[in-house]
Amino acid sequence: MRIEVKNVSKSFKDNVILSDVNMTFESGKIYGLAGRNGSGKSVLLKMLCGLYVPTSGVILYDGVKINPNLEVPKHIAALIEKPAFFPNLTGYENLQLLANIKKEIGDKEILDTLEKVNLITEKDKKFSKYSLGMKQKLGIAQAVMEDSQVIILDEPFNGIENDTVLKIKSYLRELANSGKTIILSSHIKDDLEELSDKIYYFDAGLVHE
């Protein structure tokens, strides 16, 4: 999988968020997006997912322009901004509900994923009772459980305890080594430097390596 961001700009009315951005993402690597809040990281991630259309420029997946009809490409899974789930369902039930959409995985894969993000002991607790860190873990779990080719994580480690962060980082490296494309943003410099094969820096609507 090769993702190309070519001369992409994004504005909301007169507010320019990104200006003439060029980036490339390839399989088997982890990419970090660094920058302060409001620098355009989440907006770019939403464009990669097909949730926003660029004001100008193009995003290509293996040479094919991303769907302009705001449909999320099938090979992408993402956690962007705060994870949202049904509050009166358990973490496990929420993942079951999502898995039933594509019907590509079963209970074993869901349980294995919950184990990988250290959420297995809280799987039967209702989402409304989850702490911030538990909500983040569940958000990461839904992004990785279906073996998608491209995994996008926006500030994934917020509120998560250090031992679980280390475990998830190791798992993300395993996924990249298996050929997945991992794209993650973080305001924590050490997280990006430890994990990323390449880091893109966002500042005032511009992006550089």
- Annotated domain spans of the chain: 2-208
- pLDDT interval class at 68 (50, 70, 90): low
Give the separation between CA 45 and CA 135, rounded to whole angstroms. Answer: 20
Q: Tell me, what's the pLDDT at 129?
A: 97
- pLDDT of 69 over the 80 cut: no
Instruction: Give CB contacts under 8 A, 24+ apart, made by 10-13.
Output: 10/40, 10/43, 10/44, 10/47, 10/52, 10/54, 10/55, 11/55
Q: Tell me, what's the pLDDT at 70?
A: 62
* Residue 34 vs residues 42, 62, 139, 184, 193: alpha-carbon distances, Å: 11, 25, 20, 9, 10
Give the separation between CA 200 and CA 70, rounded to whole angstroms. Answer: 25
Residue-wise pLDDT tens digits, 167-191? 999 999 999 999 999 999 988 888 8
- For the chain, percent of residues with pLDDT exceeding 90: 84
**Residue with structure tokens 């924590």?**
188
Residue-wise pLDDT tens digits, 132-172? 999 999 999 999 999 999 999 999 999 999 999 999 999 99
Residue-wise pLDDT tens digits, 76-105? 999 998 889 999 999 999 999 999 999 999
Fold that domain 2-208 belongs to in CATH = Rossmann fold (3.40.50)
- pLDDT of 73 over the 80 cut: no
Q: Bridge-partner residues for 23, per DSSP?
A: 5
- pLDDT of 72 over the 80 cut: no
Which of 44-48, 55-59, 188-192 has the lowest average pLDDT? 188-192
Backbone angle region of 147, left / alpha / beta, with phi > 0 → left and psi within -120 to 50 → alpha: left
Residue-wise pLDDT tens digits, 15-24? 999 999 999 9
Q: Is there a contact between 54 and 10 (Cβ–Cβ < 8 Å)?
A: yes
Q: Tell me, what's the pLDDT at 82?
A: 85
Q: Tell me, what's the pLDDT at 81?
A: 86
Helix H, strand E, coil C: the string for the chain is: CEEEEEEEEEEECCEEEEEEEEEEEECCCEEEEECCCCCCHHHHHHHHCCCCCCCEEEEEECCEECCCCCCCCCCEEEECCCCCCCCCCEHHHHHHHHHHHHCCCCHHHHHHHHHHCCCHHHCCCEHHHCCHHHHHHHHHHHHHCCCCCEEEEECCCCCCCHHHHHHHHHHHHHHHHCCCEEEEECCCHHHHHHHCCEEEEEECCEEEC
Q: Tell me, what's the pLDDT at 137?
A: 98
- pLDDT of 201 over the 80 cut: yes
